[in-house]
């Protein structure tokens, strides 16, 4: 998870993300986007996305459509969906 967080930090150097969001990958751990960085320490966030580590990697690489992932149960969202929509700017 630390390598994925490091890759996200590189993206955050050139793109901004508002709010706080947690990728919760269960036993594999979490990645929290907040305050302009990505950390692997768990904390409360505005929005949580629950998905497997493999699906997280696919999502970040653009190989998993977030709407299809939600429709098929590969991704579960809780909290503020507007924060999750901000991922499009980060991933785009």
pLDDT of residue 92: 66
**pLDDT of residue 91 exceeding 80:** no
| pLDDT value for 3 | 97
pLDDT at 16: 86
pLDDT for the residue 88? 81
Which residues fall within 8 angstroms of residue 10, CB to CB, at 6 or more apart? none
How far, in whole angstroms, is CA 64 from its chain's centroid? 12
Is the Cβ–Cβ distance between 47 and 78 less than 8 Å? yes
Residues 6+ apart with CB under 8 A from 4: 31, 53, 56, 57, 60
Domain boundaries, the chain: 2-91
How many other C-beta atoms lie within 10 A of the C-beta of residue 65? 14
Residue 67 in contact with residue 75, Cβ under 8 Å?
no
For domain 2-91, the CATH architecture is 2-Layer Sandwich (3.30)
pLDDT tens per residue across span 33-88: 999 999 999 999 999 999 999 999 999 999 999 999 999 999 999 999 999 998 88
pLDDT of residue 52: 98
Mean pLDDT confidence for 9-33: 95
């Amino acid at each position: 998870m630390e390598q994925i967080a490091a890759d996200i930090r590189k993206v955050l150097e050139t793109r901004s993300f508002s709010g706080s969001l947690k990728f919760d990958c269960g036993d594999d751990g979490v990645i929290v986007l907040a305050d302009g960085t990505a950390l692997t320490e768990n904390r409360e966030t505005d929005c949580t996305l629950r998905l497997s580590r493999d699906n997280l990697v696919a999502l970040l690489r653009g190989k998993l459509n977030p709407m299809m992932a939600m429709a098929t149960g590969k991704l579960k969202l809780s909290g503020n969906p507007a924060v999750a929509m901000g991922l499009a700017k980060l991933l785009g």
